[in-house]
Structure 1
Amino acid sequence: MVKIPPNTSDQECKGITETHSHIRYDEKATRRLLRKIDLALIPFLAFLYLLSFLDRSNIGNARLAGLEEDLRIKGLDYNVALAIFFPFYVFAEIPSNLMMKRFRPSIWIPSIMVAWGAMCLLMGIVHNYGSLLAVRAALGLAEGGLFPGITFYITMWYRRHECGFRMAVFFSAATAAGAFGGLMARGIMELDGARSLSAWQWIFIIEGAITVVVAIAAYFIMYDYPDTARFLTKEDRREVQRRLEEDRSFLDDTFHLSYFWDAVRDWKIWMHMFITIGIYSPLYTLSLFLPTIVKNLGYKNSQAQLMTVPPYAVACFFCILTGWVADRHRQRGIYMISCNIIGILGFILQLATKNTRVRYLGTFFAAAGIYPNVSQTVAWNGNNIGGSTKRSVGIAMQVGFGNLGGVLSGFTYLNKDGPDYTQGHGIVISLLSMSTFLCVFMRWWCVRENQRRDASDRANMASGWRTEDMVAEARKGDKAGFFRYTI
């Protein structure tokens, strides 16, 4: 007899009963099911994030297309315009994830897309610095829900050690946005003067319009959760539910405000938040200032736009490769530590030499080290949070705090420090070093805690964990005795 947690609805009770009577898929059928889900979800989600990253970072391309001259931006004005995006972006993340947990992703995600696409369009028609700041702030508020929302959404479809690769493919769109943004900006610069608009205005207008069109289509294309997905058969839906329950040991997925407070009080989530800010700040620094860094190596504006493409292409490859290997080995920490070290090496090359080729090579190491860890750090945190409501809050807390690094990134590379930017490179190296140290600590703690729980099971659970025992501890989340942390 399976024990049902308190306050479980009749529909949830039915789901538990049906799952136990369902015959599991064999390995071949499971691979076919995962391919079906992958094709239905991941390419479109990656495209959405490409648009998101493109619309927040295209101001770096617009800077080389005359933005500062036309709006009379001087001194730290440009840095403030970058930084103002992030507090509003962070503010939106936890409420947005709770809204998506409470309502439907197929309504919520396209709606925030329409909002940020409209803000990107408006940036193309601003006529003064104050208007630019206002629209950038609104853009942050609108975009804030996408990344934490999609990462949580992925965890509702895949088992824990299947998420990292999918998140890596999804996030690789950010590297594609960097590469595509440079190419697109170079082409759009040819429109300079058309219809009395400058090249930087056309960059915002064209890219914003594309987002709005895709957002309207997303209302009809996006799926919600596996139990309502039209592309899955009834047997497929049952199998997805069975796999997730088996992977998460029947942890409670109901919506209770107590899980919000569980997340807020969990020190492990806070540790991941500091790991994340040590990665996201260098990420935004690189994405916002790479065109400027490359230009200061001696390239002209139009050439600098194109020279930003190869580092992003390499980063895309490493992002997907790291996600695949980490999932295959069912580990996160060791790969995050390795990637951080590669990123640190890239910025050391910026400091250690005046040789233009070596410093340009350093941008490849920097991008290849930083970008893979953005998806891995979210996957690692998500893997180690039990229960979907707590996980939605914990991921939003992590991503939100990490994105505060965007405020710092706006002031990392100052005009007065160019062209070498010694102080900026030093700041980025320090942040990556902090993140690396905390990754080492978290991996050590997770290994030790898993060993402690294994020893407790050997002493007290000779017959192993039965289904009814796991269901009885469903509300304990990752504190349940049967839960094991990903290292």
Structure 2
Amino acid sequence: MLPPSAHVNGERSKSDSKNEEHIDVEQKDLSLPSPNLYGPEVDISTVDPSKLKRKMDIRFLPWLTLLYLMSFLDRGNIGNARLYNMQESLHVTDKQYLIALTVFFFPYALFEVPSNLVLRYFRPSRWIPFLVFSWGIVMMCHGFAHNYGDLIVLRFLLGLAEAGLYPGIVFYLSCWYKRSELGTRVAVFFSAATTAGAFSGFLAVAIHNMDGIGGRPGWAWIFILEGLATVLVAYFPETAKFLTEAERLYMIRDLKADQRHSAGGEEYKIEYVWQSLKDWKTYVAMGLCMGIAGATSSISLFMPTIIRELGFNATDANLMTVPVYAWACMVTCAVGFLGDRIGHRGLLNLALFGMGFVAYLILILSRSVALSYFAIFLAAASVYPTIRTAWISSNVEGFYKRASALGLALSFGNLNGAVTANVYRQNDRPWYRLGHGIVLAYIAIGWLSSLIYTVLLRRENEARDRGERDEVIDGIDNKNANLRNGRYDSVTEARVKKGDYWSGFRYTV
């Protein structure tokens, strides 16, 4: 299925005439016939916006959430299988186990940008099912591994196959929803990560009872059955025919009014990729993703182990992860909703990272099982809800620039999972002070990046309000216009060529 911006006539995706008048980006009556509107000949006055959004939500969110649930379940279930003697069966040392976890993150990070760029050419309805089917097969093969070499190869292939899903879905949603709507949808979709954590504990306990069936140990059946489930859900809706022509036109106009100027279609140019590389926001976003990914990766991979070392057996440790993830899921959805309603995503992030700092400080200092378990609740409820993708994609305009910037930020962030996959060593048990200290450093990086992003975006908006970024537009008298900001034939040309650097664009803080 392609977003509405891909279903356009070629002539409509080009700049309008030089005589185009200034467009009011705050125009709210999208049904007014105007030559500045996409598809002005179509009457959209009968479209009910609320019903249209519900229609889209029902169509997209359940299935996308399920796919991400399977992704997070499959990458993290190795932590559950470890509790049931997987290492001993494969003759894998603690160091080799950590290396196997690390190998996953390199292809997972490096393949995100290419996957996002080819998503439009291969179509989401083909590309995403291919990825899901591929990692489902790889996951099943984990159950037939015999040694350390097999595990290394399989973790590499799993990272390669899973790489394109998360950035692809977030980017895909950003092509359908306005910036003020995206946070809630991403939060619902990302809540699958915490839901997967809760399911993972339950499933591991239940599936382990198959120990010995077919000559396979219980830990192997965890991989086989969960991989098979992934293969069975490898499907993506094929077309956008569930929308009427009026509804599709309404969406494109609505996105344009929300400063998604590329919603009418955008031709690929390599310069859009270079724009993302030269944009300071990309690098601050990398720091933000670094802080978040470093923390979430460690939680998903090591929570069962950390809880077991507090003095519980394997089954109890798996079950005790369930309420932690359930609580984190509720907080994630609540934060996504608040982010869209109050708009202050930066302040929410600062508060969440601050809570995470307190959580890991408690984990470092605590000698009490009850206090440490409480701190794990606090840590999960602070790290998982932190806002990154909705915030980043909301502040980058242009189809391909947004795909590149989002992919780069997530790729760099996920590379740090390779670091936190090695910090919880067996010789540091039961309190794992070194691992908690390193994750605490990642949280500090995330907090600082959120602060920088918030302050600089706010300053840039204020500069644009003062007219300091105004371009020279032929035919428009503007006393603030300055040639250093560029000269363009029309407002549309300035919008298209400058993207979020256009003086009329306002960042979401």
Q: Which moved more, 1:258-267 or 1:118-127?
A: 258-267
Say whether the 8 Å CA contact 2:92–2:147 is kept in structure 1: no
Q: Which amino acid aligns with 1:444?
A: V
Which residue matches 1:401? 412
- Could you tell me how far apart the structure 2 residues matched to 1:146 and 1:461 are? 45
Which residue matches 1:3? none
Q: Which moved more, 1:201-210 or 1:253-262?
A: 253-262
- Could you tell me how far apart the structure 2 residues matched to 1:463 and 1:230 are? 46
- Could you tell me how far apart the structure 1 residues matched to 2:461 and 2:44 are? 28
Say whether the 8 Å CA contact 2:43–2:246 is kept in structure 1: no
Whether 2:274 is the aligned partner of 1:261: answer: yes
Say whether the 8 Å CA contact 2:108–2:159 is kept in structure 1: yes
- Structure 1 segments, 4+ long, off by >6 Å, are 457-460
Q: Which amino acid aligns with 2:152?
A: L
- Could you tell me how far apart the structure 1 residues matched to 2:103 and 2:163 are? 13
Say whether the 8 Å CA contact 1:116–1:143 is kept in structure 2: yes
In the alignment, structure 2 segments of 5+ residues that lack a partner are 1-8, 17-34, 471-476, 482-488
What is the CA distance between 1:461 and its match in structure 2?
Answer: 5.0
Which residue matches 1:4? none
Q: Which moved more, 1:228-237 or 1:407-416?
A: 228-237
Say whether the 8 Å CA contact 2:143–2:222 is kept in structure 1: yes
Say whether the 8 Å CA contact 1:250–1:471 is kept in structure 2: no
1:29-178 aligned at under 5 Å gives the runs: 29-178=48-197
Per the normalisation by structure 2, the TM-score is 0.88
Question: Structure 1 residues 190 and 16 mapped into 2: Cα distance closer, same or farther (>3 Å)?
Answer: farther
Which residue matches 1:250? 261
What is the CA distance between 1:477 and its match in structure 2?
Answer: 0.8
Higher fraction of helix: 1
Q: Which amino acid aligns with 1:394?
A: A
**For 1:14-71, what per-residue CA distance to the aligned partner results, in whole angstroms no more than 9, with x for missing partners?**
9976434455558x91111100000000110000000001111110001011111101
Which residue matches 1:390? 401
Which residue matches 1:5? none
Instruction: Name the SS of the counterpart of 1:456 in structure 2.
Output: coil
Whether 2:346 is the aligned partner of 1:333: answer: yes
Say whether the 8 Å CA contact 2:108–2:163 is kept in structure 1: yes
Question: Structure 1 residues 437 and 10 mapped into 2: Cα distance closer, same or farther (>3 Å)?
Answer: same
Residue 454 (structure 2) aligned to one of 443, 455, 460: 443
- Could you tell me how far apart the structure 2 residues matched to 1:22 and 1:454 are? 34
What is the CA distance between 1:250 and its match in structure 2?
Answer: 2.4
Whether 2:288 is the aligned partner of 1:275: answer: yes
Residue 368 (structure 1) aligned to one of 376, 381, 384: 381
What is the CA distance between 1:9 and its match in structure 2?
Answer: 2.9
Say whether the 8 Å CA contact 1:249–1:470 is kept in structure 2: no
Say whether the 8 Å CA contact 1:124–1:202 is kept in structure 2: yes
Question: Structure 1 residues 61 and 448 mapped into 2: Cα distance closer, same or farther (>3 Å)?
Answer: same
Say whether the 8 Å CA contact 2:13–2:266 is kept in structure 1: no
Say whether the 8 Å CA contact 2:463–2:469 is kept in structure 1: no
Say whether the 8 Å CA contact 1:51–1:211 is kept in structure 2: yes
Which residue matches 1:230? 241
Q: Which amino acid aligns with 1:222?
A: P
Q: Which amino acid aligns with 1:155?
A: S
**For 1:184-220, what per-residue CA distance to the aligned partner results, in whole angstroms no more than 9, with x for missing partners?**
00100101111110011000000000111111xx1xx
Question: Structure 1 residues 461 and 381 mapped into 2: Cα distance closer, same or farther (>3 Å)?
Answer: farther
Instruction: Name the SS of the counterpart of 2:39 in structure 1.
Output: helix
Say whether the 8 Å CA contact 2:468–2:480 is kept in structure 1: no
Q: CA RMSD in A?
A: 2.2
Which residue matches 2:426? 415
- Could you tell me how far apart the structure 2 residues matched to 1:32 and 1:115 are? 36
What is the CA distance between 1:463 and its match in structure 2?
Answer: 12
Which residue matches 2:315? 302
Instruction: Name the SS of the counterpart of 2:261 in structure 1.
Output: coil
Say whether the 8 Å CA contact 1:273–1:399 is kept in structure 2: yes
Question: Structure 1 residues 480 and 458 mapped into 2: Cα distance closer, same or farther (>3 Å)?
Answer: closer
- Could you tell me how far apart the structure 2 residues matched to 1:394 and 1:25 are? 36
Q: Which amino acid aligns with 1:103?
A: F
**For 1:261-286, what per-residue CA distance to the aligned partner results, in whole angstroms no more than 9, with x for missing partners?**
11122121111111111110110101
Residue 297 (structure 2) aligned to one of 279, 284, 291: 284
**For 1:414-435, what per-residue CA distance to the aligned partner results, in whole angstroms no more than 9, with x for missing partners?**
1111111111111111110111
In the alignment, structure 1 segments of 5+ residues that lack a partner are 1-7
Question: Structure 1 residues 436 and 421 mapped into 2: Cα distance closer, same or farther (>3 Å)?
Answer: same
**For 1:119-153, what per-residue CA distance to the aligned partner results, in whole angstroms no more than 9, with x for missing partners?**
00111101011111001101111110000100100
Which residue matches 2:216? 197
Instruction: Name the SS of the counterpart of 1:84 in structure 2.
Output: helix
Per the normalisation by structure 1, the TM-score is 0.92
- Could you tell me how far apart the structure 1 residues matched to 2:342 and 2:54 are? 20
Instruction: Name the SS of the counterpart of 1:308 in structure 2.
Output: helix
- Could you tell me how far apart the structure 2 residues matched to 1:106 and 1:68 are? 38
- Could you tell me how far apart the structure 1 residues matched to 2:361 and 2:491 are? 52
Instruction: Name the SS of the counterpart of 1:299 in structure 2.
Output: coil
What is the CA distance between 1:297 and its match in structure 2?
Answer: 0.9
Residue 353 (structure 1) aligned to one of 355, 366, 372: 366
1:306-317 aligned at under 5 Å gives the runs: 306-317=319-330
What is the CA distance between 1:253 and its match in structure 2?
Answer: 3.0
**For 1:362-400, what per-residue CA distance to the aligned partner results, in whole angstroms no more than 9, with x for missing partners?**
011000000011xx2111111111101100111111111
Instruction: Name the SS of the counterpart of 2:385 in structure 1.
Output: helix
Say whether the 8 Å CA contact 1:260–1:393 is kept in structure 2: yes
- Could you tell me how far apart the structure 2 residues matched to 1:393 and 1:68 are? 38
Which residue matches 2:463? 452
Say whether the 8 Å CA contact 2:286–2:413 is kept in structure 1: yes
Q: Which amino acid aligns with 2:183?
A: G
